């Protein structure tokens, strides 16, 4: 057998995204632009043009908090024990290495197995926990409302960078509400133009702590800090982050041992607006299976390994509120302990 044929047989799987299943961005300043969605292309087709077939073929913006994309490969991604399994590329850049900051817009990564075997991502989703897991708010619902046909822009004399301070209203199940602002840099429609409905609701969204800071208190120099690990569009490309399927947890936060996954969802995980920079939105530029030819285990759920049985599964929900002098602390390996 010649070496070219041999190499082709060995590299049976593409390490890059093969298919986009859903593209559901929230409204935002890059909507209808990154990517452009021009008929007859559907939103999913437009996203696929940007994401399929290469390590970083293009770029899509997921819009504000809750917006998401679902994609998969031409094979299941195997959970190799003790190793990161895939990468998700974004467009975060480092501006200050010493201070660990740049343009991080962290997105939460979810994984799913095609347990009903229909080839579609309509099965249970598992969040991959990252470094902010203990400080995240889960199971949130956020609704964005389309501006009315007779909407008049509301200007703010203190915010000259805005053309509309009350552009798209939102309400969240945590009792908060607010506006997406329209800025001078991006004058196009921020509402997904292919959605005719009067509102868009995202359910079961995980909110990460804000990572943006008004560094001088004057609103002229916003900076965003990188989280330690575990999020998309968080670390710069010079420091590509791998995601380990072993960090999957179920809806109650309990670890789930998955031998492989078929679908990946990336969802904007911060709900913050940073002055003239506008709202934070996770961008996705592609993804890569780090071991595309790893053999697929026979059953979907694996027996727990020693690592799974490490004391990271203590479920503190349902316990009385922590009293004074006690605090929750999460160790580097995701261990939850109570510090008195
Ligand atoms: Ca792994
Ligand atoms: Ca399915
Ligand atoms: Ca970004």
Q: Ligand 3 centre and the CA of 314: distance in Å?
A: 34
Q: Ligand 2 centre and the CA of 109: distance in Å?
A: 18
Q: Ligand 3 centre and the CA of 127: distance in Å?
A: 20
Q: Which two tokens stand for residue 18?
A: 């093969």
With residue 284 as reference, give the H or E element that holds it.
strand 283-284
Q: Which two tokens stand for residue 69?
A: 């994309």
Q: Is residue 152 part of a domain?
A: yes
Residue carrying the six token digits 């503190």: 316
Q: Ligand 1 centre and the CA of 82: distance in Å?
A: 5
Q: What is the pLDDT of residue 299?
A: 62
pLDDT in tens, 176-203: 999 999 999 999 999 999 999 999 999 9
Q: For residue 241, give every residue at least 6 positions away whose Cβ sits within 8 Å of its Cβ, in sequence order, or none.
A: 84, 87, 88, 229, 230, 231, 234, 235
How is residue 300 annotated by DSSP?
S
DSSP secondary structure, 86-130, as one string: EEEE----EEETTTTEE----EEEEEE--TT-SSSS-S-EEEE--
Q: Ligand 1 centre and the CA of 299: distance in Å?
A: 16
- Rounded to the nearest 10°, the torsion over CA 228, 102, 30, 158 is 120
Of the ligands numbered here, which is closest to the C-alpha atom of 290?
Answer: 1
How is residue 311 annotated by DSSP?
S
Identify whether residues 304 and 192 lie together within a single domain. Answer: yes
CB contact at 8 A, 258 and 301: yes
How is residue 16 annotated by DSSP?
B
Identify whether residues 265 and 132 lie together within a single domain. Answer: yes
Q: Ligand 1 centre and the CA of 52: distance in Å?
A: 23
Q: Which two tokens stand for residue 306?
A: 């020693």
Identify whether residues 83 and 186 lie together within a single domain. Answer: yes
Which residues share a beta bridge with 255?
Answer: 249
Identify whether residues 290 and 320 lie together within a single domain. Answer: no
Q: Ligand 3 centre and the CA of 281: distance in Å?
A: 6
pLDDT in tens, 239-275: 777 999 999 999 999 999 999 999 999 999 999 999 9
pLDDT in tens, 201-235: 999 999 999 999 988 888 778 889 999 999 999 99
Identify whether residues 188 and 317 lie together within a single domain. Answer: no
Of the ligands numbered here, which is closest to the C-alpha atom of 82?
Answer: 1
Q: Is residue 237 part of a domain?
A: yes
Confidence of residue 11 (pLDDT cuts 50, 70, 90): low
Q: Ligand 2 centre and the CA of 323: distance in Å?
A: 44
Identify whether residues 288 and 332 lie together within a single domain. Answer: no
Q: Which two tokens stand for residue 227?
A: 């989280």
Of the ligands numbered here, which is closest to the C-alpha atom of 246?
Answer: 1
Calculate mean pLDDT across residues 159-176: 96
| pLDDT above 70 for 318 | no
Q: Ligand 3 centre and the CA of 298: distance in Å?
A: 38
| pLDDT above 70 for 6 | no
Q: Which two tokens stand for residue 108?
A: 């939460």
Residue spans of beta strands (DSSP E) within 124-198: 125-128, 137-145, 162-172, 177-183
Number of C-beta neighbours around residue 275 at 10 A: 17
Identify whether residues 248 and 337 lie together within a single domain. Answer: no
Q: Ligand 2 centre and the CA of 120: distance in Å?
A: 4
Identify whether residues 297 and 317 lie together within a single domain. Answer: no
Calculate mean pLDDT across residues 98-107: 85
Q: Is residue 216 part of a domain?
A: yes
Q: What is the pTM of this model?
A: 0.85
Q: Ligand 2 centre and the CA of 269: distance in Å?
A: 24
Distance CA 226, CA 85 (A): 21
Q: Is residue 36 part of a domain?
A: yes
Q: Ligand 3 centre and the CA of 112: distance in Å?
A: 24
Of the ligands numbered here, which is closest to the C-alpha atom of 128?
Answer: 1
Q: What is the pLDDT of residue 9?
A: 55
SS3 content of the chain, % helix, strand, coil (to 5): 10, 30, 60
| pLDDT above 60 for 316 | no
Alpha helices for the chain (secondary structure H): 3-10, 43-51
Q: Which domain holds residue 181?
A: 14-309
Strand 222-225 to 212-214 pairing: antiparallel
Q: Is residue 3 part of a domain?
A: no
Q: Which three-class secondary structure state does DSSP give residue 323?
A: coil
Confidence of residue 8 (pLDDT cuts 50, 70, 90): low
Q: Ligand 3 centre and the CA of 228: distance in Å?
A: 16
How is residue 183 annotated by DSSP?
E
Q: How many CA atoms lie within 13 A of 115 on its CB side?
A: 12
Distance CA 265, CA 136 (A): 17
Confidence of residue 94 (pLDDT cuts 50, 70, 90): confident
Identify whether residues 192 and 266 lie together within a single domain. Answer: yes
Q: Ligand 1 centre and the CA of 259: distance in Å?
A: 9
The top-scoring range by mean pLDDT among 68-72, 88-92, 296-300 is 68-72
Identify whether residues 328 and 245 lie together within a single domain. Answer: no
Distance CA 264, CA 71 (A): 6
Q: Ligand 3 centre and the CA of 166: distance in Å?
A: 23
Identify whether residues 293 and 241 lie together within a single domain. Answer: yes
Distance CA 216, CA 196 (A): 41
Q: Ligand 2 centre and the CA of 117: distance in Å?
A: 5
CB contact at 8 A, 266 and 281: no
Of the ligands numbered here, which is closest to the C-alpha atom of 86?
Answer: 1
Of the ligands numbered here, which is closest to the C-alpha atom of 63?
Answer: 3
Number of C-beta neighbours around residue 208 at 10 A: 26
Count of structural domains, the chain: 2
Which residues share a beta bridge with 94?
Answer: 102
Q: What is the pLDDT of residue 337?
A: 22
Q: Ligand 2 centre and the CA of 123: distance in Å?
A: 5
Of the ligands numbered here, which is closest to the C-alpha atom of 226?
Answer: 3
Top-confidence residue, 100 or 44:
44
Of the ligands numbered here, which is closest to the C-alpha atom of 234?
Answer: 3
């Amino acid at each position: 057998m010649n070496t070219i044929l041999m190499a082709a047989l060995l590299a049976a799987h593409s390490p890059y995204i093969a298919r986009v299943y859903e593209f559901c961005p929230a409204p935002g300043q890059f909507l209808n632009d990154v990517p452009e969605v021009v008929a007859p292309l559907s939103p999913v087709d437009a996203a696929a043009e940007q994401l399929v077939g290469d390590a970083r073929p293009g770029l899509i913006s997921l819009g504000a908090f809750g917006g998401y994309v679902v994609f998969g490969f031409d094979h299941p991604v195997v959970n190799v024990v003790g190793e990161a399994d895939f990468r998700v590329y974004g467009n975060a850049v480092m501006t200050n290495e010493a201070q660990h900051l740049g343009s991080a817009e962290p997105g939460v990564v979810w994984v799913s197995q095609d347990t009903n075997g229909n080839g579609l991502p309509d099965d249970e989703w598992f969040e991959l926990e990252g470094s902010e897991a203990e400080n995240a708010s889960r199971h949130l619902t956020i609704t964005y409302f389309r501006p009315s046909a007779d909407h008049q822009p509301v200007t703010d004399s203190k915010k000259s960078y805005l053309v509309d301070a009350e552009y798209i209203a939102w309400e969240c199940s945590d009792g908060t509400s607010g506006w997406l602002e329209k800025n001078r840099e991006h004058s196009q429609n921020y509402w997904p133009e292919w959605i005719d409905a009067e509102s868009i609701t995202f359910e079961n969204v995980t909110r990460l702590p804000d990572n943006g800071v008004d560094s001088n208190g004057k609103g002229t120099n916003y900076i965003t800090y990188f989280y330690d690990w575990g999020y998309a569009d968080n670390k710069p490309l010079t420091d590509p982050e791998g995601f380990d399927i072993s960090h999957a947890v179920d809806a109650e936060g309990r670890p789930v041992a998955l031998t492989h996954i078929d679908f990946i969802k990336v969802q904007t995980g911060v709900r913050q607006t940073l002055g003239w920079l506008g709202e934070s939105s996770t961008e996705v530029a592609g993804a890569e299976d780090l071991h595309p030819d790893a053999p697929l285990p026979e059953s979907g759920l694996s027996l727990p390994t020693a690592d799974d049985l490490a004391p990271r599964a203590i479920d503190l929900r349902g316990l009385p509120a922590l009293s004074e002098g006690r605090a929750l602390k999460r160790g580097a390996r995701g261990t939850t302990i109570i510090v008195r």
